[in-house]
């Protein structure tokens, strides 16, 4: 099948298929006599695997490792589990960071009068220097913005 068919059947765009070939995530496709890429059902199966792994947030490097484990019938399931658990930890960290960002924005929005005055605590906090220790999303709360605008 051509790249368009492989893309449709796998749910991976033709552009991403070409990219995956370029970076070596998947082998270069066979070519027809006229030079077009030619994919087999097994290639589509691999592309679906990659798409599902990407949907779960795995990086390209992690997907490479997962593909190696998937293809290795002597693999240890503990190795696969370790990768999944590391991904869960990373996702939980990102969730906590996003929740912190939402809380800060909510606090800023609640502190803003939203009236005709030009004073705006949201803009004031955005102009403050970011903290380099990863605590930038808490700086509004930490800087006591509610007390300054009261």
Domain boundaries, the chain: 1-58, 91-150
Residue 101 neighbours by CB under 8 Å, 6+ apart: 137
Confirm if 21 and 29 have CB atoms less than 8 A apart.
yes
**Segment 95-130, tens digit of pLDDT:** 999 999 999 999 999 999 889 988 898 998 888 887
What mean pLDDT do residues 123-149 have? 59
CATH topology of domain 1-58: Multidrug-efflux Transporter Regulator; Chain: A; Domain 2 (1.10.1660)
CA dist 121 and 74 (Å) reads 59
The whole model's pTM is what? 0.73
Strand, coil or helix: 140: helix
Confirm if 104 and 112 have CB atoms less than 8 A apart.
no
**Segment 8-38, tens digit of pLDDT:** 999 999 999 999 999 999 999 999 999 999 9
């Amino acid at each position: 099948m051509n790249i368009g068919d492989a893309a449709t059947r796998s749910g991976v765009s033709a552009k991403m298929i070409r990219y995956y070939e370029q970076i070596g995530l998947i082998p270069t496709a066979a070519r027809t006599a006229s030079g077009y890429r030619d994919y087999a059902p097994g290639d589509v199966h691999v592309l679906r695997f990659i798409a599902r792994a990407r949907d779960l947030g795995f990086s390209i490097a992690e997907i490479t490792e997962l593909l190696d484990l998937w293809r290795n019938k002597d693999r240890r399931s503990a190795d696969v589990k370790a990768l999944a658990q590391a991904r869960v930890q990373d996702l939980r960290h990102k969730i906590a960071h996003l929740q912190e960002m939402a809380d800060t924005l909510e606090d800023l929005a609640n502190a803003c009068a939203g009236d005709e005055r030009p004073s705006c605590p949201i803009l004031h906090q955005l102009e403050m220097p970011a903290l380099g220790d990863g605590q930038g999303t808490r700086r509004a709360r930490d800087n006591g913005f509610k007390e300054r605008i009261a």
